[in-house]
């Protein structure tokens, strides 16, 4: 059974030195470089004047499959990434060393048969100067762990829901195509959760086949914003938040739909071929 105290006490600090090769591999894993003649995308996958995608700090100092730690008591195959919000304090260098500090800020009992929520913070800092690079607030849905508090008070309040997008038609859209082996490429940046590569693990978790990593889908939405509104200038993206609403399968097209008010953007993204919304309640702020 889920151990509330162990989860609330869980912390992790990691450092990582990364090279330009890692930056290019991450960009390839989220779909950049599909058009070899697109010089804007080339800047993220070719060493000349290389740029790092802001969302890359999500995979740096990756914590591994931390939900498998026995002392936490989680039904780890049923833990899903529910929401992800990042604030980008400064551009990520194309190569360097970073430190990440993780902690769980809340554990919420939704009730027997309804699962639990785990809210996690990740701060990424420059390992030399200590300057902040990004701060992440992530929410995980532990589908098999509701009811852990029984009749006692051991549960935190639920976090506020992110705002829904407008009900009017989107002002602009952006389509990005994936390839069937994209999760196998993306996972080389550090996320080795087996449900994204192993058909047996995906079936055991209740899915018909391996599906895209949530943070790969998230990064592609960020790419769509950089392409549509920022001229692929990563310094212009100040924050990016989403709710993951449905699995998205490799080989499908991601259509991101946007509504803009000044420097604030609301968005959602759908698997075009199935007309299924896979990201919702999306928000972004531009500089």
In which residue ranges of the chain is pLDDT below 50? Answer: none
Q: How far is CA 101 from the centre of its chain?
A: 17
What CATH number does residue 104 fall under? Answer: 3.10.129.10
Tell me the per-residue pLDDT of 142-189, one tens digit each, with 9 for 90 and over. Answer: 999 999 988 676 889 888 888 999 999 999 999 999 999 999 999 999
Q: Is 226 helix (H, G, I), strand (E, B) or coil?
A: helix
| CB-based contact 253:275 (threshold 8 Å) | no
| CB-based contact 31:223 (threshold 8 Å) | yes
Q: Which domain holds residue 118?
A: 4-286
Query: What's the full length of the chain, in residues?
Result: 287
Say what the pLDDT of residue 151 is. 64
Say what the pLDDT of residue 93 is. 97
Say what the pLDDT of residue 122 is. 98
For Cα atoms 131, 133, 137, give the angle at the middle one, nearest 5 degrees.
125
What's the rounded Cα separation, in Å, for the pair 103 and 97? 20
What's the rounded Cα separation, in Å, for the pair 4 and 106? 9
What's the rounded Cα separation, in Å, for the pair 105 and 97? 26
Say what the pLDDT of residue 205 is. 84
Closest CA to 210 of 223, 226, 193, 224: 193
Q: Is 228 helix (H, G, I), strand (E, B) or coil?
A: helix
How many domains does the structure of the chain reveal?
1
């Amino acid at each position: 059974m889920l151990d509330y105290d162990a989860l609330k006490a869980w912390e992790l600090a990691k450092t990582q030195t990364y090279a330009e090769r890692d930056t290019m591999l991450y960009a390839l894993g989220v779909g950049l470089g599909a058009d070899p003649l697109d010089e804007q995308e080339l800047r993220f996958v070719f060493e000349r004047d290389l740029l790092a995608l802001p969302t890359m700090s999500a995979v740096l100092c990756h914590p591994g499959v931390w939900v498998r730690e026995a002392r936490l008591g989680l039904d780890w195959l049923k833990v899903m990434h529910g929401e992800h919000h990042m604030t980008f304090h400064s551009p990520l260098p194309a190569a360097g060393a970073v430190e990440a500090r993780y902690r769980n800020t809340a554990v919420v009992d939704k009730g027997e048969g309804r699962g639990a929520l785990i809210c996690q913070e990740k701060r990424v800092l420059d390992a030399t100067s200590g300057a902040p690079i990004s701060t992440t607030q992530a929410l995980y849905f532990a589908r098999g762990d509701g009811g852990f508090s029984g009749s006692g008070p051991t549960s935190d309040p639920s976090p506020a829901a992110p705002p829904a997008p407008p009900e009017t038609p989107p002002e602009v859209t952006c389509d990005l195509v994936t390839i069937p082996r994209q999760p196998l490429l993306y996972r080389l940046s550090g996320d080795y959760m087996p449900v994204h590569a192993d058909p047996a693990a995906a079936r055991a978790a209740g899915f018909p086949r391996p599906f895209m990593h949530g943070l790969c889908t998230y990064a592609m939405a960020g790419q769509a914003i950089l392409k549509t509104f920022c001229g692929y200038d990563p310094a212009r993206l100040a924050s990016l938040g989403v709710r993951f609403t449905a699995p998205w399968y490799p080989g499908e097209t991601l259509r991101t739909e946007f509504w803009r008010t000044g420097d604030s953007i609301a968005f959602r993204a759908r698997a075009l071929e199935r007309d299924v919304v896979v990201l919702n309640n999306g928000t972004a702020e531009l500089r």
